Amino acid sequence: MADHDRLAILGAGVMGETVLSGLLRAGWDVGRIVATDRRPAREAELKDRYGVRMLTNLDAVAEADTVLMVVKPQDMRDLLTEIGPSVRPDTLIVSLAAGVETILIEDLLPAGVPVVRVMPNTPAQVDEGMATISAGRHAGDDHVQRVSAILAATGRVLVVPEKYQDAVTAISGTGPAYLFFVVEAMIEAGVHLGLPRDTATELVVQTMLGSAKLLRETGEHPTVLRERVTSPGGTTAAAIRELEQHRVRAAFMGAMEAARDRSRDLAAAARAAAVQDHQSGNDHGGTG
């Protein structure tokens, strides 16, 4: 990140705040960041918590070299319609929204504006995020590097072809929710087996953290690590048989397919809205 770069975060909900707080922890000067939200109470909250300047979308875009769009996919079109005409040709536009394709964003912006698509996740709140980046048609290596540097403040970053982003959304974007779901289920099981809730929680959370660290630090395949826990004729084999009988592996595949398909549906809805706008002559003037 060059010293002159100024960042706007449009839509300061869960993920917008995740990026904002991460950059501040990483040492960014709050004076280089502006943010927006459509709820005054939320604007006041972020101003109080971080001292960040909360502006209108148009004023934020006017001040920034890099604009992060962190609204829900369903709100993207309205936001782009609002800011599109004011975006300068050298402003870098970054979307963190599930599903929405760079080509649709480019169509609502002046010709040639660089667009980068990102899929982050919430463990960025503790600097253990996983984010993927894909360049649109007008974004170059320098733009990808700029976005990488922003996201690297809160975790790992991978550059992937855009065609992978729906699958990425299903795996790492949505992934924390599956793991929290497993943690919830294991805690309930511990309570069912008679453990106090706080004891069960401590056991499960540390087991999740330790297992993730073991995977990362040994680089071993998860099957190998699972087999090491599975003593012949023991407790783990009995538990795994139950999971297999309940088709838990297939359920995970189905869940991630559903998330991938939902990401595609969000993209299809954005495409359909664009076609409808073209047909009704309600074009927003983008030439990208």
Ligand X SMILES: O=C(O)[C@@H]1CCC=N1
| Residues within the interface to ligand X (CB under 6 A) | 98, 169, 173-174
Phi, psi of 80 (to 5 degrees): -65, -35
Instruction: Say which entry of ligand NDP, ligand X, none residue 14 contacts (CB below 5 to 8 A, set by partner kind).
Output: ligand NDP
Is 263 a residue that touches ligand NDP (CB under 6 A)? no
Rounded to whole angstroms, the Cα distance separating 156 from 158 reads: 7
The answer to whether 105 touches 46, Cβ cutoff 8 Å, is no
Q: Is 175 in the site for ligand NDP (CB under 6 A)?
A: no
Interior angle at CA 54, CA 138 and CA 59, nearest 5: 50
Tell me if 179 is assigned to a ligand binding site.
no
Q: Which is nearer to ligand X, 98 or 187 (CB)?
A: 98
In the complex with ligand X, which residue's Cβ is closer, 196 or 254? 254
Q: In this complex, which beta carbon is closest to ligand X, that of residue 144 or of residue 168? A: 168
Nearest to 97 by CA among 122, 76, 123: 76
Site membership for ligand NDP, residue 14 (CB under 6 A): yes
The residue to which tokens 């990808």 are assigned: 144
Strands (E), the chain: 7-10, 33-36, 53-54, 66-69, 92-95, 115-119, 129-135, 155-159
Q: How far is the CB of 156 from ligand NDP (least distance, A)?
A: 14
For ligand NDP, the binding residue among 54, 98, 108, 150 (CB under 6 A) is 98
Size of the site for ligand NDP (CB under 6 A): 27
Query: Binding to ligand NDP by residue 15, rule CB under 6 A?
Result: yes
* 55 is a contact residue toward ligand NDP (CB under 6 A): no
As annotated, the binding site includes: 10-15, 57
